[in-house]
Amino acid sequence: MKNSNTGMQQSRLLDRVIFNCFSLFSEADFTSIMQKNKFETFDFQEPDPSKVKKTKGVHCFPKLSTRKKNFLMVMDVLQVQTLISGILVLLVGALLYQLKKANGPNAKICAVPQAAGAWPIVGHLHHFGAHQLTHKTLGMMADKHGPIFTIKLGTNKVLVLSSWEMAKECFTVHDKAFSTRPCVAATKLMTYNSAMFGFAPHGPYWREMRKFATIELLSNQRLELLKDTRTSELEAAAREVYKLWSREGCPKGGVLVDMKRWFADLTHNIILRMVGGKPCYGASSDDCAEGEAGRYKKAMRDFMSLFGVFVLSDAIPFLGWLDNNGYKKAMKKTASEIDTLVEGWLEEHKRKREVSTDGTEEQDVMGVMLNVLHDLKVSGYDSDTIIKATCLVSVSILLYIIHSKGSSISKV
């Protein structure tokens, strides 16, 4: 009963509040709103005090539920009108901001012409398609607009140079202005959110990791320590060729060897031994390692391929929810496959580090980074993420070079 009485009191109090809200509108205004929206009308006259019921000091007016219903319906209309007005105000404000930015003091400093033919929102994207190669399209624009001009790729403004003198000035005199890298979808999804310093934007994290890589990973002392690794892998690759020649009966004319694949496997083994501490091809690897290397090789091919695709959200950011070609899904899958493999290498190094009793440190890249960056955070990235990202950056460029198409067959 207590809850019921409390509910009745709250309802009556709400009715009184709504009745008081009616006083904000004149009778003519409220009637006009009601008739315009075809709502049920009612009398706005103050009720007879003799018919007013009192319950513990709270006035209750007859037939006030109808008034409450109509009042809420009117308020819904006012809310919709307010929302539409707010959206229009935001759009007009954004347009005025863009006009002010385009005609501001910074715009007067940059007198670089913009290529004609830009469309709203998409800019010059419609000029770049499968019908013509990109460099030819830019060359035609340079013939028309000169050696330096700008184009718009969606919302991004791009500076185009076709003069080596200007390019040299950009990367020498004004190198700071051109030292950063854009944060595209591939960078976010496949590089641990820009943790690979080769793809990271210019800033404290990039400077710190470049310094670390120069001193700890690529120094002459470190390369000298890894000299035995390169020598042993080269000897193992040479023994493989000798075994092939022996299996063929030691012919005087030699045997056919796919030298391109031989050099690719050799380079693979050297890189992966220097980075992860184990080979993946040839006599010095086991079947499990070769299967793992095959998965890693495919994942890295997909990694390089997906970095070259066009993602619509890179040009038009507010369409980030749209994945029309499925590229983002493929990027997430590739990133997951690479992370699984590299995570296995890292866990193996951690186990070796725990059971090591002689105090010797592993000389490969992952072992060195694990010893130096153990439980350390840099610019918000934890040590495991930094180690995995840096190891991937160490092999990605070299793998891109050796994973070209074709083959070379030679007799040895």
Q: What is the DSSP track for 69-109?
A: HHHHHHHHHHHHHHHHHHHHHHHHHHHHHHHHHHTSHHHHH
C-alpha span between 280 and 314 (Å, rounded): 36
Domains (range + CATH), the chain: 2-101 (no CATH), 112-179 (no CATH), 204-411 (1.10.630.10)
Checking if the pLDDT of 335 tops 70, the result is yes
Mean pLDDT estimate for the chain: 75
Checking if the pLDDT of 80 tops 60, the result is yes
pLDDT of residue 44: 43
Checking if the pLDDT of 348 tops 60, the result is yes
CA 336-337-340 angle, 5° bins: 85
Checking if the pLDDT of 95 tops 80, the result is no
Other residues' Cβ atoms within 10 Å of the Cβ of residue 64: 20
Question: If pLDDT is split at 50, 70 and 90, which confidence band does 9 have?
Answer: low
Select the more confidently predicted residue: 409 or 282: 282
Checking if the pLDDT of 130 tops 60, the result is yes
pLDDT of residue 369: 86
Q: If you average pLDDT over residues 87-112, what whole number do you get?
A: 67
Checking if the pLDDT of 7 tops 70, the result is no
Checking if the pLDDT of 300 tops 70, the result is yes
Lowest-pLDDT range of 122-136, 231-245, 255-269, 390-404: 390-404
Lowest-pLDDT range of 22-31, 128-137, 142-151, 383-392: 22-31
pLDDT of residue 197: 84
Cα dihedral 142/148/154/156 (nearest 10): 160
Checking if the pLDDT of 101 tops 70, the result is no
C-alpha span between 199 and 307 (Å, rounded): 11
pLDDT of residue 75: 61
Question: If pLDDT is split at 50, 70 and 90, which confidence band does 404 have?
Answer: very low
Written as one letter, the residue type at 255 is V
**Highest averaged pLDDT of the listed ranges 54-68, 82-96, 119-133:** 119-133
Select the more confidently predicted residue: 344 or 403: 344
Q: Are 129 and 291 in contact (CB under 8 A)?
A: no
- The two three-digit tokens of residue 335, written as one number: 């990133």
Checking if the pLDDT of 382 tops 80, the result is yes
Checking if the pLDDT of 41 tops 50, the result is no
Q: Are 210 and 252 in contact (CB under 8 A)?
A: no
Question: If pLDDT is split at 50, 70 and 90, which confidence band does 349 have?
Answer: confident
Select the more confidently predicted residue: 111 or 50: 111
Question: If pLDDT is split at 50, 70 and 90, which confidence band does 329 have?
Answer: very high
C-alpha span between 269 and 272 (Å, rounded): 5
> Among 160, 151, 178, which residue's Cα sits nearest to residue 315?
151
Checking if the pLDDT of 57 tops 50, the result is no
**% of residues, the chain, pLDDT over 70:** 68
Q: If you average pLDDT over residues 90-105, what whole number do you get?
A: 68
Q: Which residues pair with 153 in a beta bridge?
A: 123, 156
Checking if the pLDDT of 1 tops 70, the result is no
Q: What's the pLDDT tens digit per position in 216-229?
A: 777 888 878 888 88
Q: What's the pLDDT tens digit per position in 245-299?
A: 888 777 877 788 888 888 878 887 888 888 887 766 555 555 555 667 678 778 8
Lowest-pLDDT range of 75-89, 149-163, 295-309: 75-89
**Highest averaged pLDDT of the listed ranges 18-27, 74-83, 217-226, 280-289:** 217-226
Q: What's the pLDDT tens digit per position in 131-168?
A: 788 889 999 999 999 999 999 998 889 999 998 999 99
Query: Which runs of E-coded beta strand occur in 170-227?
Result: none
